[in-house]
Structure 1
Amino acid sequence: MTSRSLLRLAMAGAVAAGGVLLAGLPADASKAPRSVPVRLLALNDFHGHLEPPTGSSGRMVDEHGATVEAGGAAYVATHMKALADRNTIAVAQGDLIGATPLVSAAYHDEPSVEFLGKLGLDVAAVGNHEFDEGYAELRRIMKGGCHPVDGCSPAGPWEGATFDYVGANVLFKNRNERTDALAALGDSRKFGTLLKDWGVPALPPVSVKWMNGVPIGFIGLVTQTTPNIVTAEGIKDLKFVDEVKAANVASELLKLVGVKAQVVLVHEGDQVTAGQSPDSCAAVPGAGNRIATQVAPEIDIVLSGHSHQAYMCTVKDPAGRDRLYSQGGSFGRVITQVDLKVNVRSRDIDRASVVADNHVVTRTVPADAEISQFVQTWKDRVAPVANRAAGTITADITNTATASGESALGNLIADAQLAATKEGGNAQIALMNPGGVRASLSYAGSAAGEGDGVVTYGESFTVQPFNNLMQVVTLTGAQLKTVLEQQFTGGPNNQAFTKILQPSANLTYTYSTGAAWGSKVSDIKIDGVPVTDTQTIRVAANNFLVGGGDAFQAFTEGTDLWSGPLDIDAFVAYLGQNNPIAPPATNRITVTG
């Protein structure tokens, strides 16, 4: 695969002597500064949120503990311009595209990639969602060309990303596969020896950016679990190897050409304690921490993504030295700033100089005028999509709660979410938060003229506007009971209001209004079979709930996290596959005194 970064590495190898990069040294080294400044500005998990995200997806806890409205491309641009200086390299940690809102998804995320180019992004790791439409589509996004099925967007032929996508642990399964990415490396005997027992890279493993006369090497990594969370057909020729092993091979590649300042951009991360400042180290050690602590000592900084959390940690590398490990939330709500100095003679980062800060992308600043117009243009283009039919209903399906707390529409959404997560996530039941059901579905036709009983995509999106990801976690029966107990006030979770989760049709239970907290829920059954405390259950919910939203903290104890489609996509797919839909019964929960 042709890559400016790999060609630069190949050229560097040709002029290197003994693995020490000679190019770029000042003519009079005695007059050179001892170190030069570099600033990194990082985004992760943007997920195409060109418009300001809404609901819980559009809020962020700031450095002072206040919850503020955050995100939106025009505000990201304003904050980036304010933070950037002449020493800046802009980077990202994956999932920039995929699982995106309609304004981006309708055009295969070309609008989001174009926006990121306008933002000045230089290099990004691939995330698992970059593979949502398969490897071939990712190559098209990187290199250009119109979509093979849908053709060119209203903007004309796609010219490709203006930034480098990198993924060191994405390899071809067939070792005989020959790519121009490998060709750029393979002409060097040193590279060939190093890669002999490694494999054939499907993506550029690294990108090198020069700043103030020194090279900075960026190593891209994506979660090794990618094959479990994307469609298998699209990546059938690829394998995703251990992140640490891949990072260490890439680090050796950089060392061979004298690039000693090394930064990992990894699409894998950890969960955090809820409600903490984005600058706190509230991360609970997990898959991201393993990578951050185990990659080669030559790697100076690890910037992460995937878990949609914000944290700023210092960890120890294998040599016992301090190393920055951070993440910046999701949906364009946080920009991570890292200031550092590189020693001119050693070409390495002075780790004592590293200072980092997570900036919340507030909406109290003026929206960038150019990007605002850019987003509006795409909104106007997508309007016809918003008016297309998604499915049909036989009567109004409302979000009005019954005495049990269920609503017909809430139950319908839970059924849709279970259907969307059975394959891939192996979900057995689904639970939907009632606050996420934002409007009712009306049988009567609208002014758009779609006709009685027809549900448009736009109407569906009004019901499910938050663009939450569908996720599945494993809970024990006891943990599921705790989740259900946390629906009610009076418990240690400080639930301010009773919030009855909307259950899929195969989950039934009873709750008592008069029982004490902890003893309210009983007779839990799945498909009519009583649930035991020790059995394991795959539970589907949106990422808001899985992250402990609405004080459902027991969800955060779940294991084996799987991420799937957006909740809106799950809903629309269900509407289209089950025509016509009658209002579901609201008899899944039994209430006693």
Structure 2
Amino acid sequence: MMSRSFLRLTMACVLAGAGVTLATGPAEAGNTPAKTVPVRLLSLNDFHGNLEPPTGSSGRMVDETGATVEAGGAVYVATHLKQLSDKNTLKVAQGDLIGATPLISAAYHDEPSVEFLGKIGVTASAVGNHEFDEGYAELRRIMNGGCHPVDGCSPAGEWKGAAYSYLGANVVFKRPAQGAEKQALGALGGTNTPSLRALLKDYGIPALPPVAIRWMNGVPIGFIGLVTGSTPSIVTSEGIKDLDFIDEVKAANVASRLLKIVGVKAQVVLVHEGDQVTAGRSPDSCSAQPGAGNRIATQVDAEIDMILSGHSHQAYLCTVADPKGAGRLYSQGGSFGRVITKVDFQVDVRTRDVVRSSVVADNQVVTRTVTPDPEISAFVQTWKDRVAPVANRPIGKITADITNAASASGESSLGNLIADGQLAATRTGGNAQIALMNPGGVRAGLTYTGSPAGEGDGVVTYGEAFTVQPFNNLMQVITLTGAQLKTVLEQQFTGGPNAQAFTKILQPSSNFTYTYSASAPWGSKISAMKIDGVDVTDTQTIRVAANNFLVGGGDAFAAFTGGTDLWSGPLDIDAFAAHFAANPLITPPVPNHITVAP
């Protein structure tokens, strides 16, 4: 059996393989009169760069009384955090703090949002899938600093890096990073030990820090970061081509053992995975329907004391049983900065472990009835001023609201409009014949009523268009046979070899029609495909336009990856803006291109 000192060094070496230094704290305190010491955690999840108060349903939250209130916005998050903080407080997060963000943040590669989170004192966060929207290399830049390799420095100057630690215990390299394994072994004086080799082989070389240790009132608190294992299917494949996302439970258990080896027994999982809830319930209720998040919360090592989650944008507070039958907290705090999860607990000074019976949690709605934080108000206004010339530029007009709400078939007016714009942008050069848009990429609707910026009713600004499509995906065109296209459409539905999590109806360009029967067996759901009114045959070739997320097999549409003759064109937002330029007054399309059969 390896000695404690050897295991401690082993852990440090494994982390060193990813360029990570394990943080350590002061030596164990001497005789302390108190048997326990208090710790408070304040957590956020799925902030998505909402520096300004989110609007519409995204800016409302059901509070503890059952009332629906306006919630969210950086200036209010900051005030509520100050009111909830005391000398025992650590602030943490559960991922998707950036990515799919409003233009105020996205225009500068989310540096404003990361700076804000540092200003309010976040100390550690799990990575979310959206942290990988611009790829692993860009995430490392956000973590460590430096100007963007293409766009250069923002108006604020050279980026200094995140003030908090991003954690991803289940994110490892597909193959050892250049010299990583040698570096890890070399740190042991060149000792090529079987135990260390086995550990590296079983777990892999971490691509991100797996854990962070923070000291509070003389005791160490260990945080384990995890991201949903579905990340490869919901982000652009090129940006994570060198990474593997291993099972969350396996990674958490390895990280838990490593923390325990170095004497950290108070352990908290920050996981970007969660569950859906029963609608309309209080954020303090346990309304979570057991799913992917619950699996993690119930199966990770019993040494782990609580699981703070994200990803599903829901708010709940649950107690679940760990593998030994003891209860532990499983929570989530909504999204967009509308809820702060407050967790109070005691840590036994002698054992350094959480006294689970002392855990008290509360989901605090970030109401807008408090005084906005003056420092953050000035900070947000600075970035609003910087981005205003771009955000407020008119790009076209609409005659009425164009909504992203799905019709009975699953298509929407806005989805059709976006697909039509993508087809127009890829006909020349890419020779596209149809276009398909993923519904999850249509993030908001377009409203006819003018905004406070004063552009006027019916005017669509670049900022509003960006809110609809915030990912900066690249438009691409591939060749599929009619049979391959049918398989793509079959993959919209649950079941089948692609394991679609829930039905996702691709938004078609208006010249493409077909019929589906959701009740038919998988593989026989799609029929009557037509392009410009002409039947599609299995053997004909079709030039299909889609964003690079879909072309890479995103959202479990694996059949896209069988396409050939790849052509790349403009960014999706540029295609959308160009469509407005070519059609200055747009009437909402009728979403009637898909027929639903029994």
TM range (shorter): 0.7 to 0.9
- For the 8 Å contact 2:398–2:459, the answer to whether it is kept is no
Q: Kindly tell me the number of residue pairs found equivalent between the two proteins.
A: 487
Partner of 2:9: none
Amino acid at match of 2:21: L
Secondary structure at the residue paired with 1:97?
A: coil
Partner of 2:21: 7
Partner of 2:426: none
- For the 8 Å contact 2:18–2:205, the answer to whether it is kept is no
Amino acid at match of 1:353: S
- For the 8 Å contact 1:430–1:503, the answer to whether it is kept is yes
Equivalence map 1:131-146=2 (5 Å): 131-146=132-147
Amino acid at match of 2:578: G
Partner of 2:29: 26
Measured at CA, do residues 141 and 270 of structure 1 come closer, stay the same or move farther in structure 2, by a change above 3 Å?
Answer: same
Measured at CA, do residues 337 and 180 of structure 1 come closer, stay the same or move farther in structure 2, by a change above 3 Å?
Answer: farther
For normalisation by structure 1, the TM-score amounts to 0.73
- For the 8 Å contact 1:171–1:200, the answer to whether it is kept is yes
Secondary structure at the residue paired with 2:358?
A: strand
Residue 438 of structure 1, CA deviation: 1.0
Secondary structure at the residue paired with 1:319?
A: coil
Residue 178 of structure 1, CA deviation: 3.8
Residue 325 of structure 1, CA deviation: 0.3
Amino acid at match of 1:297: A
Which ranges in structure 2 are unaligned for 5 or more consecutive residues?
1-14, 424-434, 474-490, 496-502, 527-553, 558-570, 594-598
Percent pairwise identity:
59
Partner of 1:94: 95
Equivalence map 1:377-526=2 (5 Å): 377-387=382-392, 397-399=398-400, 411-416=413-418, 436-439=445-448, 456-458=461-463, 460=465, 464=468, 474=493
Alignment of 1:354 with 2:353, yes or no, is no
Equivalence map 1:368-379=2 (5 Å): 368-379=373-384
Alignment of 1:311 with 2:316, yes or no, is yes
Amino acid at match of 1:254: L
Amino acid at match of 1:92: A
Measured at CA, do residues 231 and 4 of structure 1 come closer, stay the same or move farther in structure 2, by a change above 3 Å?
Answer: closer
Partner of 2:519: 533
Deviations 1:187-223 (A, max 9, x none): 4977666434210000010000000000000000000
Alignment of 1:327 with 2:332, yes or no, is yes
CA-atom RMSD in angstroms: 4.2
- For the 8 Å contact 1:414–1:431, the answer to whether it is kept is no
Amino acid at match of 1:45: D
Which ranges in structure 1 are unaligned for 5 or more consecutive residues?
13-22, 477-482, 484-500, 508-525, 539-559, 564-568
Partner of 1:168: 169
Partner of 1:489: none
Partner of 2:85: 84
Partner of 2:219: 214
Stretch moving more, 261-270 or 226-235: 226-235
Q: Separation in 1 of the partners of 2:66 and 2:182?
A: 46
Measured at CA, do residues 207 and 60 of structure 1 come closer, stay the same or move farther in structure 2, by a change above 3 Å?
Answer: same
Secondary structure at the residue paired with 1:138?
A: helix
Partner of 1:574: 576
For normalisation by structure 2, the TM-score amounts to 0.72
Q: Separation in 2 of the partners of 1:81 and 1:185?
A: 45
Amino acid at match of 1:130: E
Secondary structure at the residue paired with 2:225?
A: strand
Q: Separation in 2 of the partners of 1:339 and 1:504?
A: 49
Secondary structure at the residue paired with 2:381?
A: helix
Secondary structure at the residue paired with 1:337?
A: strand
Measured at CA, do residues 235 and 399 of structure 1 come closer, stay the same or move farther in structure 2, by a change above 3 Å?
Answer: same
Equivalence map 1:257-272=2 (5 Å): 257-272=262-277
Amino acid at match of 1:129: H
Partner of 1:250: 255
- For the 8 Å contact 2:41–2:342, the answer to whether it is kept is yes
Q: Separation in 2 of the partners of 1:466 and 1:61?
A: 27
Partner of 1:480: none
Secondary structure at the residue paired with 2:520?
A: coil
Secondary structure at the residue paired with 1:197?
A: helix
Amino acid at match of 1:7: T
Deviations 1:354-410 (A, max 9, x none): 1000000000000001100100000000012225575xx6xx5311699xx99xx97
Partner of 1:110: 111
Q: Separation in 1 of the partners of 2:219 and 2:185?
A: 22
Measured at CA, do residues 154 and 401 of structure 1 come closer, stay the same or move farther in structure 2, by a change above 3 Å?
Answer: closer
Residue 33 of structure 1, CA deviation: 1.5
Residue 185 of structure 1, CA deviation: 11
Q: Separation in 2 of the partners of 1:439 and 1:260?
A: 55
Residue 177 of structure 1, CA deviation: 3.7
Residue 278 of structure 1, CA deviation: 0.3
Measured at CA, do residues 457 and 242 of structure 1 come closer, stay the same or move farther in structure 2, by a change above 3 Å?
Answer: same
Q: Separation in 1 of the partners of 2:114 and 2:218?
A: 29
Residue 144 of structure 1, CA deviation: 0.5
Residue 256 of structure 1, CA deviation: 1.1
- For the 8 Å contact 2:42–2:341, the answer to whether it is kept is yes
Residue 7 of structure 1, CA deviation: 2.9
